[in-house]
Chain A
Amino acid sequence: MRFIPVTCEEQVEMLVRIGVDSVDALFEDIPGDARLARPLGVPDGMTEIELAAHLESLAARNSDGSRVVSFLGAGVYDHYIPAIVDAVVSKPAFFTAYTPYQPEVSQGTLQAVYEYQSMICQLTGMEVSNASMYDGATAFAEAALMAARVTKRGRVVVSGAVHPEWREVLATYVESGTLDVVEVPASGGVTDAAAVAAVVDDSTAALMVTSPTWYGTLEDLTALGVLAHDAGALFVVGTNPILLGVMEPPASYGADIVVGEGQPLGNAISFGGPGLGIFACHKAHIRQMPGRIAGRTTDVDGRPGFVLTFSTREQHIRREKATSNICSNHALNALASGVYLAALGTHGLAGIGEACIAKAHYLEDALVGCGCFERVYGAPFANEFTLRYRGEVADMQTRLLERGFLAGLDLGRFDADDAGLVLFAVTERHTREVIDRFVEEVSAL
């Protein structure tokens, strides 16, 4: 395929106008030793028909959610995506636009971002949301950096019950020693409050937890928030936004910064990316926030309109003093989430949350009831839970895959201490019939 509309004849006219006799003459600044004197070793182009067939054949080699029943979650959840979501994000005026630097011709993006920010504030209970970060993990890492700026302290305390990839990303972001990270091991599938109390002190910029945790358990956020605030540290809470129609928002527990993976809100699981980094905080800290923020204002004729605001925090103005290096974010995913939340509304989101929770508890009961699994944690859970398998996890998963099930996540893959533990995620898409069939298959092994 070729996406170049200029004709051969026009190319000649262009060369004449420039005053050179070949296209190669335009590349003369490239020193000889830096020129590529052979064709690129990249496969030849294809027609659209061949290309579609090639991509379809690659896609067909993957066992996707339309062909297997998956109980995988761990931060990425295969919720139903309403048709209106894709209809909106497929509008070229949205997806082929750049970052809204020219507000007069970007009101669509800007208003959608403002509305997204408003919905995130509603969900989390916070006053300010940014326009998005790349994903939950990078939002989490940026929250640590922001907490250090706000408190002028150099150490964060992170719960070992946080998603291991979030902790890893945080470690990478502070690798150069810009910040010390102290990790408090989980106990009973949740943050060990006594261990936190022992390490949080007046050099601590933030206590960082998530609820639900990596294990699906719910934290005692009230107690943890008090521990953070008593030491003058910020309380950073990671959340799963799909649950916030029915669960008390992080702000109610004193969260100072709320982060989250927004993928569940209308974005495809897409092998884990692109996701959506949710980032919200108090207005008092707006000038320390990373990322873009849309704000409402008026134009010269007094008409309401939207702009990117508080830009003096950002790299294009502050350069090395910016609050972050982020430039492009995940605007289209934020748009999708805004459409998703508007389509569901208060009522629908609560219904989805309730369905996930009820079905997760139904599955958990059945798996324990059939005798194949046992409970390991006493803490409550919502849409995802951890059980111990009374047998070989890998073997069980292989055999169930043959029967068309992705039987949860083997937590032993991430931490040897968690060998034998399996994490199951349930969404509103899992019908009772499918759950019953799965439990039957497990029992029959």
Chain B
Amino acid sequence: MSTTPETVAQTATGVPSLGEPLTGTLIFERGAAESRCVEAPALDVPAVSLQEVLGGRTRVVPPALPHVTEVDLARHYEHLASANFGVDSGFYPLGSCTMKYNPKIDEQTCRLPGFARIHPYQPEETVQGAFELMWGLQESLAEVAGLPAVTLQPAAGAHGELTGLLAIRGYHTANGDPRTRVLVPDSAHGTNPATVAMCGYEVVQVPSDERGGVDIEALKALLDTDVAALMLTNPNTVGLFDENILEITSAVHSVGALAYCDGANLNAIMGKSRPGDMGFDALHINLHKTFATPHGGGGPGAGPVAVSAGLAPYLPGPVVGRGADGVLRLVTPERSIGRVRSYLGNFGVLVRAYTYIRAVGGDGLREVSEQAVLSANYLKALLEDAWPVAYDRTCMHEFVMSGGALRKATGVRTLDVAKRLLDYGIHPPTVYFPLIVDEALMVEPTETEGKATLDRFAAVLRHIAQEATEDPDLLHGAPYTTPVRRLDEAAAVKNADVAWRPDGAEA
């Protein structure tokens, strides 16, 4: 194994090992049997016989939960947090995911008791402030999307896809035939084809052309009256705005099919171009990308869907509507596909997104997109002589580089490059997506990074390219400085250790 300045710094601290620190232990292994943190208050009503009132359903073997004191918990989770990397830790150019800074005020507003402690079944007159917020958010999202009707129900991007596609299905069914196929570009995110299958449609792949857009001739050849929709990400997953977008959506409409936009890349075009004006009929918006709500280590996000007037009657209900009397109420669209989840949506996430939109305002949203695109193009300019860009054009808010040539020349894979970036304190870009780019590295800097951060990232990546040439093994072995190093994924499947059990319990 090669050493690096970082590994030397890590191991040369000269501190002897004097017993194991508690790091690395499971919460189940901390504390003692009598340790307590939170306890139920003393009963102020008569005790009941559980056996009696539950009709014999009382638990025989208690669950083996942890038994810890509060200080054990505080230390445990602080230790875990220290083994994590978030946007507040450093640069996180994870393409397609828009890892922008999550403003602290959003975390404060969503915790106001007037939002955090209201129940979805309260009488409407007792939650007018919440409805006002949802209404305002619906209006702003509709304006950014260029599509008039919005549902805030979906819990994530993929859930929005399901919602939008089911609405499209509802629309076709009402016109006599749900149709059978949905077209999806070969560059699409995995959730797109997975959603198509869940909606009972057959996936038909559309090839990309040599400029990175939809191959328009191939698209036209695939279009017929069995096609229910085209699902397209625009700007697309190679970071380009499809120049033929108007021709694409009109070709789709010419056979009576509808155009669905995966809005994962909305951060590039706010105030510049609207999916509705591009001819899309439906769009999902990831509030956890474009509208700065935190990703939470994998959620919760929210995936509101904006649709055309023609699709509005099919949206899941209820949505917030304003009556002639000015009072906000829940209404269910006339031909609603039904609910896609319980209650009204990920309200806590909606509060954060609303807070963000009101913070930056309409002009601010345009500035966000302009800076996101400027920063991506700047970074691309700094890197392109060392790292071939898959499509050498002006990009939007992200761009995709190919590590294919590097791999051929040095045997160093994109995976190795990603792991080596960790040693420099940088989260890697998205790797191996989209599938149409060999050894892909998808870089999305976002607007919330300063120029110095971009400059350093470029310097580090250029240096890693040099390391790959001089000492490929250094990269094969990376990372060296992280809390753990490369993990054995095959063993994880083989051992299938997916839950801790008390000693001696059957696995």
Contact = CB atoms under 8 A, between A and B. Distances in A.
Contacts of A105: 83-85, 422, 427, 482-483
Interface residues of A, number: 207
B229 interface: no
Contact of A178 (B35, B194, B198, B501): B198
Closest 3 pairs between A and B when the two form their complex, measured CB to CB: A59-B114, A272-B343, A176-B200
A281 to B, nearest CB: 11
B39 A347 contact: yes
B156 A135 contact: no
B100 interface: yes
Contact of B246 (A34, A54, A100, A132): A34
Given A27-B373, A138-B159, 19 more contacts: A28-B394, A29-B240, A33-B246, A44-B361, A48-B359, A51-B359, A97-B86, A107-B80, A108-B81, A166-B342, A218-B57, A248-B60, A271-B130, A273-B155, A286-B496, A300-B486, A307-B489, A380-B55, A409-B121
B386 interface: no
Chain B interface mostly: loop
B254 interface: no
Contacts of B123: 397, 401, 406
B88 A13 contact: no
A296 B84 contact: no
Contacts of A324: 194, 198
Contacts, number: 718
Interface string B319-353: 00000000000000000011111111111110100
Nearest to B395: A26
A362 B46 contact: yes
Contacts of A346: 62-65, 67
B85 A297 contact: no
Interface stretch (A113-121, A193-201, A369-377): A113-121
B68 to A, nearest CB: 6
A350 interface: yes
Nearest to B68: A342
B504 interface: no
A175 B44 CA distance: 49
Contacts of A112: 77, 80, 297
Contact of A299 (B349, B361, B363, B487): B487
B418 interface: yes
A342 B63 CA distance: 12
A331 B129 contact: no
25 contacts: A26-B394, A31-B246, A36-B272, A48-B105, A51-B109, A61-B129, A97-B84, A103-B487, A107-B484, A114-B500, A135-B341, A137-B341, A172-B337, A176-B166, A176-B200, A218-B57, A300-B485, A315-B158, A315-B193, A322-B194, A325-B191, A332-B300, A354-B40, A354-B43, A406-B119
A40 B132 contact: no
A102 B219 CA distance: 36
Given A26-B373, A328-B299, A43 B361 contact: yes
A128 B499 contact: yes
Contacts of B498: 114, 117, 128-129, 286, 293-296, 309
A98 B66 CA distance: 27
B342 A169 contact: yes
B105 A33 contact: no
A40 B139 CA distance: 11
A92 to B, nearest CB: 4
Given A46-B358, A309-B489, A332-B296, A271 B73 contact: no
Interface residues of B, number: 206
Given A58-B114, A343-B70, A317 B190 contact: yes
Contact of B38 (A82, A136, A293): A82
Contacts of B28: 115, 118
Given A63-B127, A99-B295, A345-B68, A43 B120 contact: no
A80 B200 CA distance: 42
A177 B300 CA distance: 29
Interface string B164-204: 00100110000000100000000001110111111111010
Interface string A83-119: 0101110111111111110111111110110110111
Nearest to A75: B342
A30 B272 contact: yes
A299 B485 contact: yes
> Which of B279, B288, B343 has most chain A Cβ within 10 Å?
B343
A1 B37 contact: no
Contacts of B374: 6, 11, 14-15, 18, 23, 26
B20 interface: no
Contact of B63 (A34, A122, A173, A304): A122
Nearest to B71: A84
Interface stretch (A153-161, A225-233, A428-436): A428-436
A95 B102 contact: yes
Contacts of B269: 30
Contacts of B428: 102
Nearest to A426: B45
Interface stretch (B11-19, B91-99, B465-473): B91-99
B492 A296 contact: yes
A10 B212 CA distance: 30
A144 to B, nearest CB: 12
Nearest to B274: A36
Interface in B375-430: 375, 377-378, 381-382, 393-394, 418-419, 422, 427-428
A143 interface: no
Given A2-B367, A104-B419, A345-B66, A301 B485 contact: yes
Contacts of B190: 314-319, 322, 327
B67 A109 contact: no
